[in-house]
Structure 1
Amino acid sequence: MARAHTRPSRPAGARSRTRPAIAAATGAAALLALTTGCGAADMTRQSSPYANADGARTVTLSVQSWVGAQANVAVAQHLLEEELGYRVDTVQVDEVPAWDALSQGRVDALLEDWGHPEQEQRYVEDKKTIAAGGDLGVTGHIGWYVPKYFADAHPDVTDWRNLDKYADRLRTPESGDKGQLLDGSPSYVTNDKALVDNLDLDYKVVFAGSEAAQITQIKQFAKEKKPFLTYWYEPQWLFNEVPMVEVKLPEHTEECAAEGAEDPASVDCGYPTTPLQKYLNADFARNGGKAAAFLKKFRWTKEHQNEVSELIAAEKLSPQDAAERWVKDHPEVWRAWLP
């Protein structure tokens, strides 16, 4: 998930997490039958021929590969079709290419952006081909986490300065004589190795190989009530199954971010917190009628997003069925979005 993953651009302290490459970000590829951090989409082949078409009651939504983004689109699609009478097309495309597609009118809306300041400057401020669509209502954050059962037993583990005290408890065959910090895919843009080095921690970053594999490992640790330390992010449905507590890293600062942008190996602060945003093609924002008005008003909580995400990823419902169930259960939420 390139969430400035800073989700997959990833939320990495000083670097962008093109999310859950998050988003790291970012939804579990195997669980979603999608790949996190997929290659740039060929928009000439995947874009809808109806996107931005004059007079067409059709909306084209960009879908990123993590499950939270899929949940947003599924609910928006259901309501646009069932309540407002639109036909909705979806296009799966990575975060940065999505900005290009949005600018060119190949898609009408992007419902979850983790922060791409260069694209915002180019398309929103300079070219004015993209318009801000408002806050999604969900705040994205990457960090290091331990299971709640371990934090309850050892409250001081939630301060990074005490992590070395527990390094021997967190060793694995993969980490050798050091504690293990579990990461997902090696392709994720994270600050974890730099943080371990610069904070002089007795830990080794170990990659599970993918987000799906990381989830499997976390769930196995939890089943056996073993302690673990992992890179993770929110919103993410797994918190519903495995409660985790964040380890407080040194505070993220703009100075740290600026230094890290110049030299990623120098990062010694935690990850930022990112209010997730929506963006619309500028012409669609002006002329998209009830569909554009609805998408601007679409705003929910991380609990709502996680509810739909868990139905998709853990309970194996199709996105359409998950959205239908959520809509049935929460009319008091979505009715306020209708124009």
Structure 2
Amino acid sequence: MRMRTTFTVAAGVSALALLTGCGAADMTKQASPFANAQGSKTVTLSVQSWVGAQSNVAVAQYLLEHELGYRVDTVQVDEVPAWDALSQGRVDAILEDWGHPDQEKRYVTDKKTIARAGDLGVTGHIGWFVPTYLVKQHPDITDWKNLNKYAPLFRTAESGGKGQLMDGSPSYVTNDKALVNNLKLDYQVVFAGSEAAQITQMKQFAKDKKPFLTYWYAPQWLFKKVPMTEVKLPPYKEGCDADAAEVACAYPHTPLQKYLNADFAQSGGKASAFLKKFKWTTEDQNEVSLMIADQKLSPEQAAKKWVDGHHSVWRQWLS
């Protein structure tokens, strides 16, 4: 699932949450000056635009800097370009990948320029969600077969007389246009532009108790603020999403993965060993995400607060 210029997490990631231009021109060619720097204690991390990924990077950066003495740089890159950047050594690590088997085959299996770094410890799931207050009014709305009946509830100025299915950024992993078409649903996919813009719209809908149907994903801190219920799509079966144009099934549950540049994986010393061991829970990630996105702490402040309260977790990553 899921910008591009180079900046520190403390200053840059907080700014990321305000950006809405996830589809802007790719800037991965602006390589970090620290990426793949031979013999120097520097690490460059790819940071995606959603807050959960930013939380991983914030905590990893804090520990790399304060416990291991590294200088850490970050580069914001969309999901697929991040694989190119990692392969070329423009970044050293991706800490949250939602599943790109074609990229994995190309770079891990065939070219061997990227190495697997293990599970993040978090399972991701994309789905369609409606606010729980709407489910209380219309209990059968959680079955996709009934969505056409409720399409008039979800009409907006942007949906052209159809029901609106709100997506985030076009750069995210999404099968929604194919699903709408193949399930013959009277809906129009409308992109908010970014996670931050999508959250703003959902919070406003919820404040006014208005209906909305949205592409969304877990883990995500917003569920604590806006309770939502998943709409049951046709069950996911292995291979049902192999042809992007023919998808007519739910999204899978995906154990999120970490990847390292292959050279960095071999010669990155304590930094690469630490990143391979970096593994936490959905609750850990949501705790940091909530501090960044809702409580408005800087990523560095949120990371420090989490680190101060979870010594027994992160000490294992350094051993």
Aligned equivalents of 2:197, 2:157: Cα separation in 1: 17
Determine if the alignment matches structure 1 residue 199 to structure 2 residue 183.
yes
Aligned AA (1:74): A
Change in Cα spacing, 1:207 to 1:63, as seen in structure 2 (3 Å) is closer
Determine if the alignment matches structure 1 residue 216 to structure 2 residue 189.
no
Q: CA deviation at 1:38?
A: 4.0
1:1-339 pair list within 5 angstroms:
7-8=1-2, 31-33=17-19, 35-43=21-29, 45-49=30-34, 51-54=36-39, 56-175=40-159, 178-185=162-169, 190-260=174-244, 264=245, 266-339=246-319
Does the 8 Å CA contact 1:52/1:106 hold for their aligned counterparts? no
Aligned equivalents of 1:291, 1:184: Cα separation in 2: 33
Does the 8 Å CA contact 1:51/1:106 hold for their aligned counterparts? yes
Aligned equivalents of 2:92, 2:208: Cα separation in 1: 46
Aligned equivalents of 1:334, 1:154: Cα separation in 2: 44
Unaligned runs of 5+ in 1: 1-6, 9-26
- 1:54-113 CA distance string (max 9 Å, x none): 2x2222212222222211111001011111222222222233333233223332211111
Q: Which residue of 1 aligns with 2:7?
A: none
SS at match of 1:256: coil
Q: CA deviation at 1:277?
A: 0.7
Aligned equivalents of 2:14, 2:191: Cα separation in 1: 15
Q: CA deviation at 1:28?
A: 10
SS at match of 1:257: coil
Aligned AA (1:63): V
Q: Which residue of 1 aligns with 2:10?
A: none
SS at match of 2:234: coil
Ranges of 4+ aligned residues in structure 1 off by more than 6 Å: 27-30
SS at match of 2:216: strand
Unaligned runs of 5+ in 2: 3-12
Aligned AA (1:51): N
Aligned equivalents of 1:38, 1:179: Cα separation in 2: 27
Q: How many residues are paired up?
A: 309
Aligned equivalents of 2:77, 2:155: Cα separation in 1: 38
Change in Cα spacing, 1:217 to 1:124, as seen in structure 2 (3 Å) is same
The worse-fitting range, judged by mean Cα deviation, of 92-101 and 130-139 is 92-101
SS at match of 1:51: coil
Aligned AA (1:46): A
Aligned equivalents of 2:235, 2:53: Cα separation in 1: 27
Q: CA deviation at 1:213?
A: 2.9
TM-score, length-scaled by structure 2: 0.86
The worse-fitting range, judged by mean Cα deviation, of 146-155 and 293-302 is 146-155
Q: CA deviation at 1:37?
A: 4.2
Aligned AA (2:96): E
SS at match of 2:52: helix
